[in-house]
Amino acid sequence: MASPSAEDVLTKLRALGAEQDITILKLSEPISAAVTHLQDAHQRTSDVSNSSLDATTPSSLEADLTHYRELFAKLRFSYVEQVSKEKFIRAIVGDPPLIVSPQENLDLEKENLEAKATLKALKTEVAAMVAELEEKARNLSRKYEKIKVETVKLEELPRKIEELENAVADLKKTQKRGSNPNPELNLPLAKTLDLVESKKRRKAELDRQLEQLQSQVPRKKKELDRLQAELQPLETKRQNSKTAAKEARRRKEAALGGVQDDLEERGRWFRSAEAGLKQVLEIES
């Protein structure tokens, strides 16, 4: 049997969501209606905010539950007190007066103890049942929230699947045409993995060489600074020699004329230039 598609699952979830409005707060509607009727009849005043019935929330329900538990406890005590007083007064003023024997009191106490034990067992059972229902409600709430999140993801899934299918189709068309100028991109998977491994090894080797060169940078920088410091006075001497030669040539040309004088001046200039270069380059004759 074929597994259902994402569209089918999404359609079923939407149908279930449309049929059922899942909310635990609707459980309070009968209680809220009854309390509203009692308020209209008796105008009850309490510490619980009356506006909580208009906008019911889990916290307001918890507050109402606590209030009614305290109220019922007070009413029960008041009821027992009033009934006891009424029976006592009737027993006194009755004609003939109601006489209760000690044995009857013992029997009533025994029945009362049995009734209390039964009531306690029922209370324990109800408390366990309430705790179990609360745990189930929390689990259902967590599952419902998880389903909501997964439903949103499921709604996005068909579009993503379609995009991936289109991308795969485009890649297949490109591979069939062979229009990619890079032959490495048309390799099969095994050769592609081998190529990736070789590129990784090459990258690791380059990283190692780069790390070695970077470790040599401080030493080379110090050596460069030293050479620049040694070259600076030699450059100054060269500039001074060049300036002096130009000045001597200018004076010679201004004082003498003729070809021979010019040749003599050139010879002197060449000798001075040669001497200056030898001094700069520290060449022994």
**How confident is the model at residue 125, as a pLDDT?**
95
Give residues with Cβ within 8 angstroms of 137, minimum separation 6.
24
**How confident is the model at residue 177, as a pLDDT?**
64
Residue in 240, 248, 237 with CA at minimum distance from that of residue 271: 248
Q: What is the pLDDT along the chain (285 residues), one digit of tens a residue?
A: 566 666 777 777 777 666 666 555 555 555 556 556 655 555 544 444 444 445 566 678 788 888 988 998 899 889 989 988 888 888 788 777 777 788 888 888 999 899 999 999 999 999 999 899 889 988 988 888 898 888 888 888 888 888 999 998 888 887 676 555 677 766 778 888 888 999 999 999 999 999 999 998 888 898 888 888 888 888 888 888 888 888 877 776 666 555 555 667 777 888 888 887 777 776 554
**How confident is the model at residue 128, as a pLDDT?**
94
Domain range summary for the chain, segments of one domain joined by +: 1-97, 100-186, 189-281
End-to-end, the C-alpha distance of the chain in Å comes to: 103
pTM of the model: 0.40
Beta carbons within 10 angstroms of residue 233's beta carbon: 10
Give residues with Cβ within 8 angstroms of 151, minimum separation 6.
10, 13
